[in-house]
Structure formats: structure tokens, C-alpha cells
Structure 1
Amino acid sequence: MTGQAYDSNNIFGKILRGEIPCHRIYEDADTLAFMDVMPQSPGHLLVIPKAPSRNILDADPAVLAKLIPVVQKLARAAKEAFEADGITVIQFNEPASGQTVYHLHFHVIPRYEGLALKPHSGQMEDNGVLAANAEKIIGVLGN
């Protein structure tokens, strides 16, 4: 345990409750995946559990067991949809690691040989671009 309590008012909690919109890619009973609004590469998406967890340090192993196959499925779909050379999967835990949203989440980022990631700057991507990128991944998933 981290010692910190989970706060359901984080932005991902609000997305799960439908209080904040997102570009959904995938959803099942336990997980939700959507486009990162500040992508570091085209196709950058996030996968979160619906169960409350601050991060991997306090997550129920049963939640992780359901979440990781979805991360893998979406990593494969994003790689194909964006014809990427590779995929980076990142997961941060606590402020010292760079975590800024305290709901467990995995970044899935298409990568290309010789291209650095853009900074996670606070500059939000155009909604039309995010919607088009979501559709590319949804198309590969067959949804």
C-alpha cells in the first residue's frame, strides 16, 4: 500500500462517471481505454481499470490480471493501426516517478525508429485528430 487514499475526484474517475468526455477506444466490464488528450505520438492511448486504484502499488492483483491482457490487445492494435515500428507501455507510480493522475493507468504509445516522443506538455491535441486516431484503432479491433 502507498499510504495514500484513492481520491475518486481525479480526472479518470470523472471520465469513468461520464462527467468529462473522452475518445473511447475500448470498454468492457473491468476496463476503459481512450485517447490521451496530450499525445506524445499519434495513437497514444490510456488503459485504466474501472476499479479504484491509486496506482500499481495499491491495485488488487485480480484487477491487474484483467487489465494487462487489455493493455496487450490495445498495444497490438495501436501498433497495427499506426504502422508503428514499436510500442512503448509506461506506467507511473507516485510523484517521484512522474505520476500526475492518481488513478492506475497505462500509457500505450506507438513508436517510430529515429523519432523522439513529443513532451507531455499540457498542449491538448485537436479533437478531430483524436477522434480520427481513435477510429483507426477501433477499426483494427473490429468494433
Structure 2
Amino acid sequence: MPIDATRPYDESNIFARILRGELPCSKVYEDEHVLAFNDIRPLAPTHVLVIPKGAYVSWDDFSARGSDEEIAAFVRAVGRIAREQGLVAPGYRLLANIGEAAGQEVPHLHVHIFAGRGLGPMLAG
């Protein structure tokens, strides 16, 4: 179910539970500020979720409240994962859904990295 990105952070969301170690994940990358893991319901051969470790609901929330170090680490992690997964030459897509109208399902900022096959047009219909 989509969420309202203007609501307060929900500590019971699935990504918060993964960050606390309450739920497992197939880790792809981790540093002080970022965790990346394979999506449990992949929509492409490569489907990685990249999340900041801080309690941020959306991109606008993160850009307003995140430290320069957190923001830089997040952006750099996305590029590093793409390089390490061998996605740069064949190409990959980044997607961040923010808020109900965009279909955000988990109220924790996250970026999807998709790759491994032709992905078609950016938006359908």
C-alpha cells in the first residue's frame, strides 16, 4: 500500500526492521551510512535496494535533514554498487518512488537499481 511521504517516520517499517537485524536480507553492500540488499521480489535480473541507515521517509526529507556525509555516502554507494555489480557498461536504471502518488510502499527512503535485461520505456501508460 502506498504511503504518504509527509508523515513521520514509522519505526516498524520493514527496512527499519532489517536495519535493526530483526529481519534478514541478502546484503550487497554496507558502510557506516548505507545498506544495500537484493529485493526479495525482483523485477529484473538485478534488483538491488539501497537505503540510508538514518530514519528518512523520502528524498526531500533526506536532503533536508541528512548530514552532508550521509548524503555523499548514499550517492557514492549507488555508483559503487553499479560498478561492483558490472552494471555500468550494459546500463542500469535507478528508481525512487516518493509518496502515495508515486507508489512508495515502504516509508523509508530507498533507491531501486534495476539491470540485467532491457527495461523498456521509463513509464508505461
Query: TM-score, length-normalised on structure 1?
Result: 0.71
List 4+ stretches of structure 1 deviating above 4 A.
none
2:48 equivalent to 1:45: yes
Per the TM alignment, residue 75 of structure 1 is displaced from its structure 2 partner at its CA by: 1.6
2:58 equivalent to 1:55: yes
What runs of 5+ residues in structure 1 fail to find an aligned partner?
118-143
**Would the aligned equivalents of 1:84 and 1:110 in 2 still touch at CA under 8 Å?**
no
| Structure having the larger proportion of residues in helix | 1
2:106 equivalent to 1:101: yes
Question: Could you list the per-position Cα deviations for residues 10-63 of structure 1 after superposition, in whole angstroms to 9, with x for gaps in the alignment?
Answer: 000000001111101111111101000111111210110101100101112523
State the one-letter code of the partner of 2:78.
V
Per the TM alignment, residue 84 of structure 1 is displaced from its structure 2 partner at its CA by: 7.1
Equivalent pairs: percent with the same residue? 38
**Would the aligned equivalents of 2:45 and 2:117 in 1 still touch at CA under 8 Å?**
no
Q: Secondary structure at the match of 2:28?
A: strand
Residue of structure 1 equivalent to 2:24: 21
Seen in structure 2, the aligned counterparts of structure 1 residues 90 and 57 have a Cα distance that, compared at 3 Å, is: same
RMSD (Å), alpha carbons? 2.1
Give aligned pairs, total. 113
What runs of 5+ residues in structure 2 fail to find an aligned partner?
none
Query: TM-score, length-normalised on structure 2?
Result: 0.81
